[in-house]
Amino acid sequence: MKLIVGLGNPGPEYAETRHNIGFMVVVRAAEKAGITIKRKAHQGLLGVGRWAGEEVSMLLPQTYMNRSGVSVGSACQSLGVSPGDLIVVHDEIDLLYLCLRIKVGGGHGGHNGLRSIAGVLGEAGYTRLRMGVGRPPAGGDVSRYVLNRFASAERVELAGYIDTAAEALELLITRGPQEAMNRYNTRNLPTT
């Protein structure tokens, strides 16, 4: 079984913020797969089903970003998911908006959700789908930036970006990280 986790914060005030792009991607992937994410489990919302012939669980932790590891660790233990079968989708300020990258392993890079997961699972070799949201203007506050909604100009391309990320997730679960990296890490993504 693959466990796909979207990182974000619960509640309507965070729903369309940059920090919640992980939630947005996993919700879109669930729609494509016909999986409903609504069961309360592991301090999150969980959906289980099949996608492209693979057994998949999709989790949206409801612990707030800084405590994502509590939810992810519980789900991994209960579902018997090893790090090699865990995919975490998260926002990435070190990538330009509309750029996504797939990475296996690595440190948290200052991302509080990844830091929390590392605190529970260690620096395990799970796969990450890094969704570029860009950085704030020079001197801008990073926390405020990621907790703001996308600008109207950015929202024009957001749906296409999220669809592309959902396609990348499908390739990840069916063909594995190397093929997904070969396809998606080599270019900036057209989204329109």
Q: What is the pLDDT of residues 48-79, one digit of tens each?
A: 999 999 999 999 999 999 999 999 999 999 99
Predicted confidence (pLDDT) at residue 95 exceeds the cutoff of 50: yes
Quote the CA–CA distance of 50 and 122 in Å, as a whole number.
28
Residues 141, 72: Cα–Cα separation, whole Å: 28
pLDDT digits (tens, 9 = 90+) for 128-169: 999 999 999 888 899 999 999 999 999 999 999 999 999 999
What residues act catalytically?
19
Torsion of CA 8, 12, 18, 20, to 10 degrees: 20
- Distance of CA 51 to CAs 31, 166, 173, Å? 10, 12, 8
Inform me whether the pLDDT recorded for 186 exceeds 80.
Answer: no
Q: What is the pLDDT of residue 74?
A: 97
**Residue 187: predicted pLDDT:** 61
Mean pLDDT (the chain) is 94
Per DSSP (E only), the strands in the chain are: 2-6, 39-41, 44-51, 54-61, 86-92, 100-104, 127-132
Summarised one tens digit per residue, pLDDT across range 4-19 is 999 999 999 999 999 9
Judged against a pLDDT cut of 80, whether residue 171 lies above it is answered with yes
User: Which domains can be identified in the chain, with CATH numbers?
Assistant: 2-184 (3.40.50.1470)
pLDDT at 107: 87
Spatial strand order in the sheet of 44-51: 39-41, 44-51, 54-61, 2-6, 86-92, 127-132, 100-104
Given this model, what pLDDT does residue 41 score? 98
